């Protein structure tokens, strides 16, 4: 098996990861906005997945020094390149599930 394919499948195959990426394809979101669109996911799981995606440079976290502090998450260029993958999965799901 190709190690790069295996690594990509491991990242994208984790529960909730695809949904988070799909939500962020619509543009930058705050934590609570992502959570509202995926209500079945716990706060801890969302936090863990966001940290993983940030470590893989798939999402960017921007802190705005306001009162109160505002934090937004958005896809990086690397994350935006997943759009055709996410759209293909959506299309396959609509056709076959």
pLDDT tens for each residue of 52-97: 999 999 999 999 999 999 999 999 999 999 999 999 999 999 999 9
**Distance of alpha carbon 35 from alpha carbon 41, whole angstroms:** 7
pLDDT tens for each residue of 3-59: 999 999 999 999 999 999 999 999 999 999 999 999 999 999 999 999 999 999 999
Domains located in the chain, CATH noted: 3-96 (1.10.10.10)
Q: Cβ neighbours of residue 53 under 8 Å, at least 6 residues apart?
A: 17, 20, 21, 59, 79
pLDDT tens for each residue of 30-39: 999 999 999 9
**Distance of alpha carbon 57 from alpha carbon 77, whole angstroms:** 9
């Amino acid at each position: 098996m190709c190690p790069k394919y295996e690594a990509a499948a491991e990242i994208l195959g984790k529960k909730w990861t695809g949904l988070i990426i799909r939500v962020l394809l619509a543009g930058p979101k705050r934590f609570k906005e992502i959570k509202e669109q995926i209500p079945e996911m716990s706060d801890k799981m969302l936090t863990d997945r966001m940290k993983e995606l940030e470590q893989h440079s798939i999402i960017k976290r921007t802190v705005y020094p306001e009162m109160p502090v505002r934090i937004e998450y958005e896809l990086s260029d690397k994350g935006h390149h997943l759009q055709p993958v996410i759209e293909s999965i959506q299309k396959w799901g609509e056709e076959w599930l």
